[in-house]
Amino acid sequence: MKEWTLMFNSSSDVNAWLERSEKRSEFFSHETHQPFLVRVIATESVNWTSWLEFIFTFVQEVYVPRYSKRVLEDVYCLSEEEAEQVLPFVGPLAENVKGLHSQLSESLYERLVRYVGCHSPRNLDMALLYEHLFIDFSDWDEVVGYAIDEWQYELFFQERMHQLRQFIQFKEPQIKRVDVYDGKELMFYDQAGHSLTPPTQPKMMDGMMVSPLTQALLNLVPEKANIYTDSGGTHELFQVMNVFEERVELCPLDDFPHKMNLTS
């Protein structure tokens, strides 16, 4: 068996660790007679990498939101409600800090590895780890700033989606059903198999680029649109499903009903 000792500075952090440890069969954690001190026993299957990854998961789930919320409220002066809305955007950015720009040269995981490598690996002071990862990392405020940008764009995106939904909601359907063939290029047919040629030129609408597929269906205003595709969850499909909602159904490309009418 392998053993580690973790030193926390609050009972809430101890409980947060124990709660996560209970979900992992390869780890057994229990609080010792000393306050805020946790003894971790692991099976032989746990190696150094998996141990670090477990600590990093705790950092992502507990420390990242805690410190980021503080930055959002104290540095960027967001309300508590606004900060809560931004926090989901911080996590994904925290996983790829170096990808934000060239000046951020060290990822959060790399900082964790460096800290553990410079201290006793069997006895970790989690409060000092928290300071090293966030308080001593001046660029973290900038990471949180990028999350605010992502949140603001999402608000902008949802507002534009709402406007487009309102547009089609109050417009009479022009055609009962459109079958879209999403192969090498987009092809549009009515339910009888007749080819349709709606405008598909991408269009900038109130600061947001409307995709060719969305633009075509906005021109056709179908009662229902079956999109035959193998593309999966692309941005273009996500956009059109956001706008047309229950009117759109995704179908396998091989099930396209008008194969005989496809033009090359």
Show the beta-strand stretches assigned E in the chain. 2-7, 27-31, 37-42, 123-125, 175-182, 186-190, 195-196, 203-205, 208-210, 222-229, 248-252
pLDDT of 93 above 80: yes
pLDDT band of residue 129 (cuts 50, 70, 90) is very high
- Please name which of 29, 30, 41, 59 lies closest in space to residue 132, comparing C-alpha atoms: 59
Closest CA to 54 of 41, 36, 68: 41
Q: For 229-255, give one letter per residue: b (16+ CB within 10 A) or e.
A: beeeeeebbebbbbbbeebbebeeeee
pTM to 2 decimal places: 0.74
Let me know the angle formed at the C-alpha of 229 by 225 and 235, rounded to the nearest 5 degrees. Answer: 85
Whole-number pLDDT of residue 234: 80
What pLDDT is stored for residue 231 in this prediction? Answer: 81
CA neighbours closer than 13 Å in the CB half-sphere of residue 183 = 12
**For the chain, what is the mean pLDDT?**
88
pLDDT at 203 over 70: no
pLDDT tens digits along 25-34: 888 888 787 8
pLDDT at residue 57 above 90? yes
Q: What is the pLDDT of residue 202?
A: 63
Give the CA dihedral 68, 72, 76, 81, nearest 10 degrees.
170
Checking if the pLDDT of 199 tops 80, the result is no
Q: Can you give the C-alpha Rg of the chain in angstroms?
A: 26
Q: pLDDT digits over 221-257, tens only?
A: 999 999 999 887 688 898 899 899 899 999 999 999 9
pLDDT tens for residues 135-168?
998 888 988 999 999 999 989 888 888 888 888 8
Query: What pLDDT, on the 0 to 100 scale, is given for residue 204?
Result: 62
Pairing of strands 222-229, 175-182: parallel
